[in-house]
């Protein structure tokens, strides 16, 4: 019996030892799994961090311009020169490194000076040495003619140079969106357009309440004793006819069809013939005689006799296009005919 008890006790000890070993094995396996899980989690965290680092905005990017140039530009340009495109820069809240000017800097885009006052000027011809002196990090050109011949290569040596191209440049909305894209301000560009359209709609309703949708208008520019009429789809012509729904005189339609620029020279007789209800006059001859305004034919025009000629100085925005220019034109028209 003692032998049997001894065997029985030995078996019990063996069984207990086996159970203990199994429990320890299971515990170690569980710990291993937990460690592996923690390791994987840590690995995943590291991988995510590496991925996030890899997807951060690059220091620069390459875009193709209207002429097919691959232009490598800074991710966020700081010293931009976009001559005669400053309306778009102002709309986007960007101060250019230099602003467009003519006549040795004495002529600038006056209507933008509230935002550009103090910004140095660069001649409209954009001399290479002058351009280089401002150390731009991005040059934006509107018209393709500004970089004809070997000019593009010269400008591109100074700074990455992007050409909007004539098709985009003549459409101020597309030009604003493209410049917004280049400057990482696409959202701001779209919001500016949305706000502008809302304002145009509001003013159109006010104008229509006065005109009943039956009044015609034309914009004239008096310069060196000669008159010019704006085309129906640009600048103040776009605002009058497309945005506000004022009617086009046939003479304006004819002039627009033949136009080679935004403004076309027009005779006094043609002005009298157009018989517009409202005339908006940009007077660059103010203070210099303006003999044309004393002409008998001018004085006989119905809008003149009725007191429906609204005069603006050459410093106004009526010769330009863009959110800033067009907004000011909208307000000028509202203030003129909505009493």
Burial class (CB in 10 A: 0-12, 13-18, 19+), 95: middle
Q: Is 92 exposed, middle or buried (0-12, 13-18, 19+ CB in 10 A)?
A: buried
In angstroms, the CA 330 to CA 228 distance is 20
Tell the residue number behind the tokens 């931009």, with chain if given.
80
- The rounded Cα 223 to chain-centroid distance in angstroms is 30
pLDDT recorded at residue 59: 80
- Confidence check: pLDDT of 221 > 80: yes
How many CB atoms lie under 10 A from the CB of residue 71? 19
> Rounded distance, CA 170 to CA 163, Å?
13
Average per-residue pLDDT for the chain: 87
**How confident is the model at residue 290, as a pLDDT?**
72
For residue 27, name the pLDDT band (cuts at 50, 70, 90): very low
Per residue in 244-261, pLDDT tens? Answer: 999 999 999 999 999 999
Burial 215-225 (b: 16+ CB within 10 A, else e): bbbbbbbbeee
Could you tell me the pLDDT band of residue 21, with boundaries at 50, 70 and 90? very low
Distance CA 178, CA 92 (A): 12
What pTM did the predictor assign? 0.81
Query: Which helix (H) or strand (E) covers residue 74, if one does?
Result: strand 70-74
Mean pLDDT for 260-264 is 94
């Amino acid at each position: 019996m003692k032998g049997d008890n001894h065997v029985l006790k030995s078996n019990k000890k063996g069984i207990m030892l086996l159970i203990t070993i199994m429990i320890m094995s299971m515990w170690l396996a569980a710990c291993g799994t937990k460690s592996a899980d923690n390791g994987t989690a840590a690995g995943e965290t590291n991988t995510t961090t590496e991925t996030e680092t890899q997807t951060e905005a690059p220091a620069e990017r390459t875009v193709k311009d209207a002429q097919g140039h691959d232009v490598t530009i800074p991710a966020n340009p700081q010293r931009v020169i976009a001559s005669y495109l400053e309306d778009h820069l102002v709309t986007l809240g960007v101060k250019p490194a230099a602003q467009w000017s003519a006549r040795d800097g004495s002529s600038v885009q006056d209507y933008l000076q509230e935002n550009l006052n103090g910004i140095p000027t660069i001649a409209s011809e954009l001399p290479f040495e002058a351009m280089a002196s401002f150390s731009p990090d991005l040059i934006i050109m509107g018209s393709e003619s500004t970089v004809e011949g070997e000019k593009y290569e010269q400008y591109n040596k100074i700074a990455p140079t992007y050409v909007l191209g004539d098709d985009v440049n003549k459409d101020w909305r597309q030009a604003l969106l493209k410049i917004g894209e280049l400057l990482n301000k696409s959202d701001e560009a779209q919001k500016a357009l949305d706000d502008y359209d809302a304002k145009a709609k509001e003013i159109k309703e006010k104008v229509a309440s006065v005109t009943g949708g039956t009044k015609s208008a034309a914009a004239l520019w008096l310069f060196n004793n000669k008159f010019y009429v704006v085309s129906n789809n640009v600048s103040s012509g776009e605002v009058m006819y497309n945005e506000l729904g004022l009617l086009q005189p046939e003479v304006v339609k004819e002039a627009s069809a033949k136009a080679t620029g935004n403004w076309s020279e027009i005779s006094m007789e043609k002005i009298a013939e157009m018989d517009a209800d409202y005339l908006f006059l940009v007077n660059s001859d103010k203070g210099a005689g303006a003999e044309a305004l004393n002409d008998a034919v001018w004085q006989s025009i119905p809008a003149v006799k009725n007191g429906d000629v609204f005069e603006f100085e050459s410093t106004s925005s009526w010769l330009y296009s863009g959110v800033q220019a067009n907004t000011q034109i909208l307000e000028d028209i509202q203030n003129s005919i909505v009493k």
